[in-house]
Every structure is written in C-alpha cells, then in structure tokens.
Amino acid sequence: MIPGSFTYHKPQSISEASALLASLGDEARPLAGGHSLIPMMKLRMATPQHLVDLGGIAGLKGVTVENGTLVIGAMTTQAELIASDLIKAQAPILIETSLMIADPQVRSCGTIGGNVANGDPGNDMPAVMMALGASYRLAGPGGAERTVAARDFYQGAYFTDLQPGEILVAVVAPNPPRGHGYAYEKMKRKIGDYATAAAAVILTRRNGVIADCAITLTNVGETALVAEEAARAVIGSALDPATLKRATAAAEAIASPATDGRGTAAYRTKVAGVMVARALRRAFDRAANA
C-alpha cells in the first residue's frame, strides 16, 4: 500500500526538531532510519500528518567515550556500530546484535535511536540495552534535557516515557566489567524477520561460578522483559544442568507472547527458554576465555 499524505520537515537542530514536534503534537512523528515507521505507514497502521526527519541534525551520529562510558549518537546506524572499534572493545554484544538485525541494506540506514525509541516489542536493541544497564538521553523543547534508564523507558507496545516534543538524542552504555561474558540469541523464521523470541545475557564469572548476571527477552511481551528470577537462579553456580533448567523455567514464566505467524504462544514461550539457555552457555564460556 501507499502511505497517506503528510508534510515533510527537515530541521537542522535538536531545538528546532523539538519545537516542531511539540507544536504539531500527536499529528507528527520523528523519522530516523524509517524501518519501523514507514512500513506501518504503508499498512495505514500509522497515519502521521507530519514527518520530522532527524537526518539533517549535526551531532546525532558517532560513538564516543565520556568518563569511560560509551555514548552513542541516536542517528548512528547499525552498520556504523558494527564497524566501531570502541564498540568492539567495550560492548561487543552491540555488534553481535546489530549483525542479527534484518540485512546489510537495512543496517546501513537503520539507526540505534530508531531501534530503541519507538517502543516496538520486536526490536532487538531494547532488551540488549536493558541487559547492559544503559540509559537514554532525551532532549525536549526549550533546551530541557533528562536521562532515563532503559529499564524504565518502556511502558507498553509502542508506548514509552518520551514526553511531547522530546527526542532521544543518545544512548549511554556503561562498560561491562573486564572479562565479562555476553550473548544475544535470536530465533527467526527468515533473514530480515523479527524474532520469534530472543534473549540477551551479560554475566561475570569469578572462581568458576557466575558472580553477576542480567537476562532480558525480546518479542515475548508488550515490551522487552527483564528476567530477574532467571538471573538470580544462576548466580553462584557453574551453570550445571539443573541450574540451567531452573533459569529457563523462570524466563518462560514471565513470557506472554501472542499467537501469530511466528507460532503459538506456547511455542514462542518455549523458544524464549531455549534462547535463554543458549545465551547463558555462550556467555559463560566467553567469560571463561576473556
């Protein structure tokens, strides 16, 4: 289908973009890479009267380090994340995840900000950011700024903590401990598809056992989910089969996927457990070899 008619705006600054979004209200949507919004517009699931293109704003791209913490501009593409030496050194799970998003053509245009900001439960990066303990820098009208933890940002499918006129301008990701293990496991029907279910794991290992762990899930709820009980189940263990079984069951217990073209709710819940088990094993092995 063809999207409905709209007015196109291309502001040159964050303040101009915020002012436009604030004044146009619910009739306007920000445009980053467009890979979530444009398909929804084609299906008439989204019918904004105004598109505010963020592509002309200087300073929204790039990866830097501030006080030892990664700061990623919202318009940085997945392809740029994959090529970044800073990301490789400090948060390699972002590269692993980026390589599972769609295909090279999409990754060359799709942005980190677009992936995390619109609240699509099928997007991969929100769960990874929650596992990393990342935060989002938001800029609003009149120069107002605030920072929101990724775990507090998502309120429901396509509903986030963004206020009228606010734009997500950067992702701030603390460095995982040296020698940490990580993994993102994703089951999908075909290249370019959203996950049937996926899981992110960040853990540290000390004296052969897991000292700290974060587990998050993708596309098995209205938002990315934090599997706190599953993470607690593995702490202090060497990831023996009984512990892995308990963690898998705890992750499955919080999953509530819909039955859709990717499978029944029961099937997708089981897939989530399988993804958690795979991610835990790989992260545990990586921590041993780090």
198-226 pLDDT tens trace: 999 999 999 999 999 999 999 999 999 99
Helix (H) or strand (E) holding 264: none
Share of the chain above pLDDT 70, in %: 100
CB neighbours of residue 79 within 10 Å: 18
What per-residue confidence (pLDDT) applies to 277?
98
**Does residue 290 have a pLDDT over 70?**
no
89-132 pLDDT tens trace: 999 999 999 999 988 998 999 999 999 998 999 999 999 999 99
Structural domains of the chain sorted by starting position, each given as residue range(s) with its CATH number in brackets: 7-53 (3.30.43.10), 63-173 (3.30.465.10), 182-289 (3.30.390.50)
**Does residue 35 have a pLDDT over 80?**
no
CA–CA dist 254, 238 (Å, integer): 24
Tokens 């692993």 sit on residue: 96
Taking all residues of the chain, what is their mean pLDDT, rounded to a whole number? 94
What per-residue confidence (pLDDT) applies to 182?
98
Q: Is the dihedral of CA 160, 162, 164, 166 positive or negative?
A: negative
What per-residue confidence (pLDDT) applies to 158?
92
212-264 pLDDT tens trace: 999 999 999 999 999 999 999 999 999 999 999 999 999 999 999 999 999 99
**Does residue 1 have a pLDDT over 80?**
no
Contact 161, 123 (CB under 8 A): no
What per-residue confidence (pLDDT) applies to 262?
96
pLDDT band (50, 70, 90) for residue 178: confident
**Does residue 88 have a pLDDT over 80?**
yes
CA–CA dist 270, 150 (Å, integer): 26
Q: Facing residues of 14 across strands?
A: none
Q: Facing residues of 256 across strands?
A: none
